[in-house]
Structure 1
Amino acid sequence: MKHLADLYLSELQPSREKLTFNRVVGATASLLVVAVVLGIGIHFWASQQQINTQRAAHALSQAQQQLAAKQQQLRAAMNNPDVEQRIEQTELQLGQRQRLLQQMQQITESSQVSFATLLNELAQADVEAIWLQRILVTNSELTLQGKTANASALPVWLASFSNYPSLSGRQFGVFELRDNASSGVLDFTVGSLQHSSLLSSQPSRSAGAAQ
């Protein structure tokens, strides 16, 4: 059995609503409200941007003014004879101190090397009959104090100094030899006249003391 439906009946056709004046006015009003809100937002954003720009421009202007003031102060200072003189004096003092420091370092290094060489050569010239107890060096002047069991060994020992560069050619203006009855040996002092005031009546018991 076939069934037939007639879709073109007037009851089944969609109804068409007519655009009335009220609806047109409502839609137009809504669009106007949206446009006004957008306009206010854009105006507020533009105002904020303008304020920020003005603040940045003001800060930049102040920074430029401060920079110009500092540059002017610097130019004035550079053109000031007193400031230039102070700078020159400071540079001169620094240069003198640097040269003095270099000289002191050189003297210290030279003294250390010379004294080490002297000790080394005294050790090489060592003899069994002589015991050094004190070595005094000031301004390249040398004085030796110690003990010996044989008085004749002392001149032989001093003569051997000619074999060593740091000991050769030294003039000893002081030559003392004292009998130490308590120990059965002789105390001796051989050295420079410049050390006379520094020498005690007895040789020091601390070996290798250098001043």
Structure 2
Amino acid sequence: MKTHINLLHSEFKPKFELVCGANLMGVIFLVSLLCVVAYSCLVYMQGNVDALVAEKKANIESQQERLQALTETLTSRKADASLEVKLANLMTQSQEKSRLLANVKQLSSLQQRSFSNMFDDLSKAHATDLWLENFTISPGALSFNGKLETPNALPKWIDKLSNTEFFKGQKFDLARVMREEDGLNFELISTPAKAAEDAATQNTGEAVYE
């Protein structure tokens, strides 16, 4: 005999519903809370970035103002006449010392070439159809003057001269043959233009033989 009677039919039993008003409100609240938190974090990070950008911008503007001030100071600064004179004097002295050093080097190179060897080599290059009247030897100049019997005697003599030790590798800037009343005269010059000017004005370390 049944002592219990089930008056609740199965269709009237409570069921859990995933989507309902209460659950929907909870989900909306949770999503809203997450959005607020995320927005707050973004606002905070954006504020830090803005502050950093503002600081960098302020530093750049400060540096630009300082640069502008220095530029204006340099632009408005007047040149010191005494300093310009000193600078010009120093430059002149430097150029003079450079020229002096170059002359000393030329003199030292000339001293290394013995004059006795030069006369020996000139005698080795002796030619019967050519004779010297005078020649000049200096650190920056070398010249020969004399007479010829025939025009082709000069290139032959230069070939002989270039085979000697003293005049080995010697190059001449000017070779000239002139016909005059007393015969053929020749002139050989190996002098750079500047060295010729210095030799004419200073006449230093020069040996002339006639």
TM-score bracket, shorter-length normalisation: 0.3 to 0.5
Calculate the TM-score normalised by the size of structure 1: 0.45
Calculate the TM-score normalised by the size of structure 2: 0.45
